């Protein structure tokens, strides 16, 4: 509700916390004790960072990750105590990871800032200092008088003061808010409708007392006076309105949740695996420390004279020495935690997201719109979806109404051309039609809120008035409009006929198509006076206004004469039925959440294939109490036992009762239904349903898709939110994770891109843990041969570059291009989507396989090198005998490891591109070239030259080459046998699909 008051200067209405006082044109009272209320500015903010908080906020978010925080601790330990490796070995990779991640997240937030700036910087006109001043949208304040021209979007929630129309009305479309493309009529405040010039508005002294901001789009403070931000002005030259809600307090913005960081199921699995590996690390460090002290306790392991303890070391606390040694071993083994995993995942997601935008199958030629990615962090989540929650209007349908048939006095008329040229043929109908047909056509022509746009040339004959050829006596005077609402499911008009009589026309929805029953009633002069009085009293009531309006409408809409019915159809989008069927075959449950009435929603569900004709439809509708709701749910649960396929229909009111006390029983019924339809849903109810499913014990992955601002809350609530690029408005798109032009593109987005992304990143994660186990386990084994002296097996440069340079590119390219199955196969056989559901490729069993494989290969690397080079001598190419030291041994182990882990990934690759070949063989070649360069020069800035000429000596040995070949073959031979076995003895669709690549 709101109270509009024309006031003398200095009027100060009492302020209450439940309401807000808005002074039109910001003319505040002059007396000194008045304190203005503080309101939000008109900026819309969808970004996470600012220039000032980016560094601390981003660092805080990054160090919440287990691996990053762990490596920070390791780096600090290396700075504080004497450790076997340089702080650079941990600090450099950590800095690299933090920097790359910050750049990626900063870029994505910059795109959000750019979108916000386009909205906030849009030019608007406001009335200030007696003139019309151009400013930016972000500068609008509560109380400003704003001028909006035709086809412009309202920059804030405005109370309509006046329009250029004599009757003070304007017409708007709310497609960007609720997906409805029909025009809605709004009325200016009666006291200000004559203020159609800047000078009269400047002289206006008025106060608006209104309720505090609320999110409900369907309960505005005055439905006929309030113009919501995001709606668009149509068929009206210009309007003036006073801003009452601005920025993040507008109804559109209040339907947005605060954007929280969404985490994918893969990232949660990564964190679990990191904790397990942290446990392995701690175990190895504790064991090594204990064994060190156990072995040093024996006299035969006394320190040599050149390594005797100092007096300070002998007198130091044993506990502190134990802790120091434990931390030293922790640093020595710390690379078992793959810090570069995160940066590789970030790069894979960021680069991989471009493939969605480049996919021509997701491009809509008619609107020139391609798919877009707003949040690349959830790419793999597209392959794990179990529930899809979709809006209906504008998402499943085109939101274009097509006339199909009508019935007049029992006679059915089918579509030929009917209202296609309505503005031209109706005057002729009026000239010769008689009886029921004429009355029906009059009712259909007059009972609506359609407005004729006189500047549209295709509706004109000879460029003149479309009714210029009609008899003047066809003209009616509109007295009242009884607006449509979801409870009455009808709208009515009261008109004065050319002869001066008063007639009442009404249209009401019934089952079937979008069917309107048309009826009329004639009022006597006395009856109309009573009707007019009741309507005016109800519309001006300050208390219980909605209830009084309903009473007045009920009094008027009775004793009607039935004239006939019309049937129109909301055209479905292309391939909606095929898309829903593909999702169903993929094991995905589809829920339709709509604000439409029950009959219309069911009709569309049947036509789009969401409900099948043979499906047993269960209903939970119009429940009045908790007990009644519980009884009905019990009956529905019992009925699910006899039929295989069920569909459930539930309305918003019944859903609220079900979720209040009977959530468990309601979920039991839903689980037995292959399709669920929720009708008459408020926007926040949609989000509540999504939250209910995603927090259920099974924790399924949810996806929400919609096209309007009323879908934003559920889009943000779901694990994955997808916006449909509608005809008008970008609210759903701006607040979604992904955006597509049509619902049909959802099938390929999930079944192909989702499938690829998940398999790629799942393999990436497992491979990273595998190669780091291979990397650090020989370091652990080496301690048994050096009496746990914390001597490192590898050179510090190799420690630093193993994950950053030597083994990083092959897995990154693999994770961008790998295709285990051909895309056409994935689209034609949606059932393959089930094979990767429930995070199948990151199960504990798969994780255990890769971990054990890493340990096995590490043992082969270490002991294979030890056995083959155990004599510690080698015959070089020139015939000289050379001693093999610990650096040579470590380099041999490292060389075998780099070759093996790279070729292991090559065996896992099914889709080879030139880039795969380049990085696979190039990484091995780069390692050899770098090692020759690094070991062939004396580097003056290094404290030691331990690696000088080591690699050259190693490659000069024939026995070293023999050892490399034997160890690599030993490690990879079982994998080759396994792949041959599976390909030939257990052929599957995955195997034969390789032949298509």
Collect all residues with Cβ–Cβ distance below 8 Å to 711 and sequence separation of at least 6.
179, 391, 395, 683, 686, 704, 705, 723, 732
Catalytic residue flag (residue 737): no
CB atoms within 10 A of CB 182: 14
- Report the distance separating Cα 582 and Cα 831, nearest Å: 9
Residue 947 DSSP code: T
570 in a known ligand binding site: no
Rg (CA), the chain: 37
On whether the CB atoms of residues 246 and 189 are closer than 8 A, the answer is: no
391 in a known ligand binding site: yes
Per DSSP bridges, beta strands 206-211 and 2-6 are antiparallel
707 in a known ligand binding site: yes
710 in a known ligand binding site: yes
Alpha helices in 869-957 (DSSP H): 886-908, 914-935, 950-955
Alpha helices in 451-597 (DSSP H): 525-539, 545-556, 576-585
3-state secondary structure of 241: strand
3-state secondary structure of 587: coil
417 in a known ligand binding site: no
Instruction: Give ∠ CA 335-340-343 in degrees, rounded to 5.
Output: 160
Q: Of 178, 391, 651, 795, which one is the catalytic site residue?
A: 391
Calculate the dihedral angle through the C-alpha atoms of 944, 945, 946, 951, rounding to the nearest 10 degrees.
160
- Report the distance separating Cα 960 and Cα 882, nearest Å: 12
Per DSSP bridges, beta strands 646-651 and 675-679 are parallel
686 in a known ligand binding site: yes
Q: What is each CA distance from 77 to 69, 80, 776, 789, in whole angstroms?
A: 12, 5, 19, 18
Q: What is each CA distance from 834 to 385, 586, 805, 830, 838, in whole angstroms?
A: 10, 6, 36, 8, 8
- Report the distance separating Cα 581 and Cα 574, nearest Å: 14
- Report the distance separating Cα 809 and Cα 902, nearest Å: 10
Q: From 650, 612, 604, select the one nearest 393 (Cα to Cα).
A: 604
Task: Provide the sign of the torsion angle of the four alpha carbons 382, 386, 390, 395, taken in this order.
Answer: positive
On whether the CB atoms of residues 110 and 95 are closer than 8 A, the answer is: no
What are the CB-based long-range contacts (under 8 Å, 24+) for 456-459?
Answer: 459/423
Q: From 288, 235, 277, 379, select the one nearest 749 (Cα to Cα).
A: 379
3-state secondary structure of 651: strand
Q: For residue 492, what are the β-bridge partners?
A: 482, 506
680 in a known ligand binding site: yes
On whether the CB atoms of residues 323 and 285 are closer than 8 A, the answer is: no
Would you give the distance in Å from CA 114 to the centre of its chain? 19
514 in a known ligand binding site: yes
CB atoms within 10 A of CB 524: 10
3-state secondary structure of 518: strand
Q: For residue 494, what are the β-bridge partners?
A: 480, 504
Collect all residues with Cβ–Cβ distance below 8 Å to 417 and sequence separation of at least 6.
none
Residue 737 structure tokens: 């994770």
- Report the distance separating Cα 702 and Cα 579, nearest Å: 17
844-868 vs 958-985: helix crossing angle, rounded to 10: 150
Q: How many CA atoms lie within 13 A of 535 on its CB side?
A: 17
3-state secondary structure of 308: coil
Collect all residues with Cβ–Cβ distance below 8 Å to 721 and sequence separation of at least 6.
703, 704, 705, 714, 715, 735, 736, 737, 738
Task: Provide the sign of the torsion angle of the four alpha carbons 61, 65, 69, 74, taken in this order.
Answer: negative
Which residues are designated catalytic? 391
**Binding site as annotated, residues for ATP:** 391-393, 484, 514, 594-596, 680, 686, 710-711
**Binding site as annotated, residues:** 391-393, 484, 514, 594-596, 680, 686, 707, 710-711
**Binding site as annotated, residues for Mg(2+):** 391, 393, 707, 711
């Amino acid at each position: 509700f709101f109270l509009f008051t024309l006031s003398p200067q200095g009027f100060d209405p009492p302020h209450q916390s439940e309401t807000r006082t808005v002074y039109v044109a910001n003319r505040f009272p002059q007396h000194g004790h008045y304190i203005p209320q503080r309101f939000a500015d008109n900026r819309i903010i969808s970004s996470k960072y600012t220039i000032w908080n980016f560094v601390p906020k981003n660092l805080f978010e990054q160090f919440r990750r287990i691996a990053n925080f762990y490596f920070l601790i390791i780096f600090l330990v290396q700075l504080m105590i004497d450790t076997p490796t340089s702080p650079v070995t941990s600090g450099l990779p950590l800095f690299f990871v933090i920097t790359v991640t910050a750049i990626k997240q900063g870029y994505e937030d910059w795109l959000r800032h750019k979108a916000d700036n386009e909205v906030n910087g849009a030019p608007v006109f406001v009335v200030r200092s007696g003139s019309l001043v151009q400013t930016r949208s972000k500068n609008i304040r509560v109380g400003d008088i704003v001028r909006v021209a035709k086809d412009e979007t309202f920059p804030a929630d405005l109370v309509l003061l006046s329009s250029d129309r004599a009757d003070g009305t304007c017409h708007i479309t709310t497609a960007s808010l609720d997906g409805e493309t029909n025009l809605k009529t709004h009325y200016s405040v009666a006291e200000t409708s004559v203020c159609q010039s800047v000078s009269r508005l400047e002289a206006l002294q008025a106060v608006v007392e209104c309720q505090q901001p609320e999110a409900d789009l369907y309960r505005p403070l005055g439905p006929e006076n309030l113009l919501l931000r995001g709606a668009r002005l149509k068929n009206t030259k210009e309007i003036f309105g006073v801003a009452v809600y601005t920025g993040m307090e507008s109804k559109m913005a209040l339907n947005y949740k605060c954007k929280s960081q969404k985490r994918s199921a893969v990232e949660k699995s990564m964190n679990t695996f990191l904790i397990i590996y942290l446990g392995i690390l701690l175990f190895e460090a504790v064991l090594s420390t204990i064994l060190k002290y156990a072995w040093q306790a024996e006299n035969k392991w006394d320190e040599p004279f050149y390594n005797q303890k100092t007096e300070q070391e002998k007198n130091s606390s044993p506990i502190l020495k134990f802790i120091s040694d434990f931390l030293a071993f922790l640093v020595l083994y710390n690379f078992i935690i793959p810090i570069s995993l995160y940066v590789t995942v970030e790069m894979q997601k960021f680069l991989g997201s471009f493939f969605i935008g480049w996919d021509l199958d997701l491009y809509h030629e008619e609107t020139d719109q391609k798919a877009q990615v707003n949040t690349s962090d959830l790419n793999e989540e597209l392959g794990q979806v179990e529930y899809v929650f979709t809006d209906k209007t504008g998402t499943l349908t085109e939101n274009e109404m097509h006339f199909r048939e009508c019935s007049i006095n029992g006679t059915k008329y089918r579509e030929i051309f009917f209202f296609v040229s309505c503005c031209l043929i109706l005057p002729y109908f009026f000239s010769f039609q008689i009886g029921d047909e004429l009355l029906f056509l009059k009712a259909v022509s007059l009972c609506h809120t359609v407005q004729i746009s006189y500047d549209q040339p295709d509706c004109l004959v000879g460029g003149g008035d479309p009714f210029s050829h009609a008899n003047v006596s066809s003209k009616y005077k509109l007295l009242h409009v009884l607006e449509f609402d979801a409870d009455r499911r009808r709208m009515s008009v009261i008109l004065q006929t050319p002869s001066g009589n008063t007639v009442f026309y009404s249209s009401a929805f019934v089952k079937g198509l979008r069917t309107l029953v048309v009826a009329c009633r004639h009022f006597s002069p006395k009856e109309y006076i009573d009707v007019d009085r009741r309507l005016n009293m109800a519309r001006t009531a300050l208390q219980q206004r909605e209830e009084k309006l309903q009473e007045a409408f009920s009094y008027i809409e009775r004793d009607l004469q039935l004239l006939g019915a019309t049937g129109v159809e909301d055209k479905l989008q292309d391939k909606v039925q095929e898309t829903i069927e593909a999702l169903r075959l993929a094991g995905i449950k589809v829920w339709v959440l709509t604000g439409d009435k029950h009959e219309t929603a069911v009709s569309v569900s049947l036509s789009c294939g969401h409900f099948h004709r043979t499906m047993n439809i269960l209903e939970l509708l119009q429940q009045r109490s908790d007990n009644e709701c519980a009884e009905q749910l019990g009956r529905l649960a019992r009925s699910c036992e006899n039929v295989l396929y069920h569909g459930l229909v539930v309305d918003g009111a019944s859903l609220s009762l079900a979720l209040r006390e009977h959530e468990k029983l309601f979920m039991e019924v839903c689980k037995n239904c292959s399709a669920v339809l929720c009708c008459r849903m408020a926007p926040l109810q949609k989000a509540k349903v999504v939250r209910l499913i995603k927090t259920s014990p099974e924790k399924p992955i949810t996806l929400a898709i919609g096209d309007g601002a009323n879908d934003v809350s559920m889009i943000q609530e779901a694990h994955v939110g997808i916006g449909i690029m509608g005809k008008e408005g970008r609210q759903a798109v701006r607040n979604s994770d992904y955006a597509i032009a049509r619902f049909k593109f959802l099938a390929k987005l999930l079944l192909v891109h989702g499938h690829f992304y998940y398999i790629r990143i799942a393999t990436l994660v497992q491979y990273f843990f595998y190669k780091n186990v291979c990397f650090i386990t020989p370091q652990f084994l080496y301690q048994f041969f050096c009496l746990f002296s914390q001597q490192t097996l590898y050179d510090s440069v190799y420690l630093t570059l193993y994950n950053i340079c030597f083994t990083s590119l092959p897995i990154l390219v693999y994770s961008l291009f790998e295709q285990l199955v051909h895309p056409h196969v994935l689209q034609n056989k949606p059932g393959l989507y089930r094979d990767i559901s429930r995070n199948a490729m990151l199960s504990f069993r798969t994780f255990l396989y890769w971990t054990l494989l890493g340990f096995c290969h590490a043992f082969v690397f270490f002991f294979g090198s030890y056995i083959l080079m155990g004599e510690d001598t080698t015959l070089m190419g020139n015939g000289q005998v050379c001693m093999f030291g610990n650096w040579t041994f470590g380099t041999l182990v490292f060389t075998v490891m780099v070759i093996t882990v790279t070729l292991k990934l090559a065996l896992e690759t099914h889709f080879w591109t030139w880039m795969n070949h380049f990085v696979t063989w190039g990484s091995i070649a780069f390692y050899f070239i770098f090692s020759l360069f690094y070991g062939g020069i004396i580097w003056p800035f290094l404290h030691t030259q331990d690696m000088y000429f080591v690699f050259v000596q190693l490659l000069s040995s024939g026995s070293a080459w023999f050892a490399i070949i034997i160890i690599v073959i030993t490690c990879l031979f079982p994998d080759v046998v396994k792949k041959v076995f599976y390909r030939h003895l257990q052929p599957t669709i995955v195997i034969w699909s390789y032949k298509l690549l």
